[in-house]
Amino acid sequence: MAVYTDINEVDLKAFLRQYDAGELMSYKGIAEGVENSNFLLHTTAGSLILTLYEKRVEKADLPFFLGLMHHLSSRGVNCPLPLPRHDGALLGELSGRPAALITFLEGMWLRKPEPAHCREVGKALAEMHLACDGFALRRPNALSLDGWQALWAKSAGRADEVLSGLREEIGGELAFLEGAWPKDLPEGVIHADLFPDNVFFLGDQLSGLIDFYFACNDMLAYDVSICLNAWCFEKDGSYNITKGMALLDGYNAVRPLSAAEIAALPVLARGSALRFFLTRLYDWLTTPEGALVVKKDPIEYLRKLRFHRQVASAAEYGLASA
């Protein structure tokens, strides 16, 4: 359960008085997510999500994330909206953390996505990429090559405790990516964490996207590679080409990938697998025992990384034209 910071009712009621959000009826911590503390509130005005921003979220980046949700919503993307306080601010403070109240999005995330859902996700990702056009703020990706090096430096010394030989393998992978990372692909604002738990469905219909707290400016095709990693592998570690084909078809139907983006997919997928491996490894080694969060397995992403290493071309992901 991702609740790192506790709140008490007295402080919460005082916090709510700064908004036009009704009277508090009940609240509870949400047993999902790993980055921030989230609470579901019921007030006389309806349901709301309260988010307290934790370790990986820089306060200076919050205007980018909250502004992006407003921008996307105004362009027809169904995503939560931060509520303004009486003084107009979107951000407040609770229990010593930056905090925001955001609208509750109906739907639930899929534990077992099928190819048809992957197609919807591909479409929604491309629509989001197009809708981000014109968003005025910029945020460089703190978790790209430089960030990976810094993160790895914090874990490398203990990596072999998790799996023997890891230190050498990841060191080699980073060196490869330093040389092979694409430079001239189309860029824009990317979600950067569009995993199944951040996409809501009502029945088979995609109902909205949440969790924009890794969003940043980077290569659009990198976001596609993140989705291939997050949506198209089975529990046994195998890549499901039917899901990959559906996701890529869905994306291409809205924003066709260029030949250069297609050619770069295997390297981008290696990079995105490494990125999630590294954050998971760091959390694995540093999250204190007994913390109210379910730690995610870094080895799942090592396996994905190894898969991408032997991919010769994007055709192996299900791209008919590659």
Ligand X SMILES: Nc1ncnc2c1ncn2[C@@H]1O[C@H](COP(=O)(O)OP(=O)(O)O)[C@@H](O)[C@H]1O
Return the one option of ligand X, ligand LJ64HWYM, none that residue 9 interacts with (CB less than 5 to 8 A, by type): none
Buried b / exposed e along 216-248 (16+ C-beta atoms within 10 A): bbbbbbbbbbbbbbbbbbeeeeebbeebbbbbb
The one of ligand X, ligand LJ64HWYM, none whose footprint includes residue 80, by CB under 5 to 8 A per kind, is ligand X
311 binds, among ligand LJ64HWYM, ligand X, none (CB under 5 to 8 A by kind): none
Sites for ligand LJ64HWYM among residues 280-299 (CB under 6 A): 280, 296
> Which residues make Cβ contacts (< 8 Å) with residue 83, sequence separation at least 6?
19, 20, 21, 48, 90, 100, 101, 102, 103
The CB-of-168 to ligand X minimum distance in angstroms stands at 31
Which residues are paired to 41 by β-bridges?
27, 48
Span interacting with ligand X, options 61-69, 155-163, 209-217, 268-276, rule CB under 6 A = 209-217
Contacts of 88 (CB under 8 A, 6+ apart): none
| Residue 277 within binding range of ligand LJ64HWYM, rule CB under 6 A | no
> Tokens representing 311?
């991919």
Least gap, CB of 260 to ligand LJ64HWYM (angstroms): 27
Look up residue 290 and give its DSSP letter: T
What is the gyration radius of the CA atoms in the chain, in angstroms? 20
d(CA 143, CA 278): 10
Asked if 296 and 280 count as a contact pair (C-beta separation under 8 A), the reply is yes
Residue 54-83 contact track with ligand X, rule CB under 6 A, x = bound: --------------------------x---
Q: How far is the CB of 71 from ligand LJ64HWYM (least distance, A)?
A: 20
What binding mask, one character per residue, do residues 14-43 give for ligand X by CB under 6 A, x or -? ----------------x-xxxxx-x-----
Whichever of 124 and 166 has its CB closer to ligand X, that residue is 124
Alpha helices in 145-258 (DSSP H): 145-155, 159-162, 166-180, 220-231, 241-254
Q: From the list ligand LJ64HWYM, ligand X, none, pick the one residue 210 interacts with, judged by a Cβ distance below 5 to 8 Å according to partner type.
A: ligand X
Pick one of ligand X, ligand LJ64HWYM, none as the site partner of residue 296 (Cβ within 5 to 8 A by kind): ligand LJ64HWYM
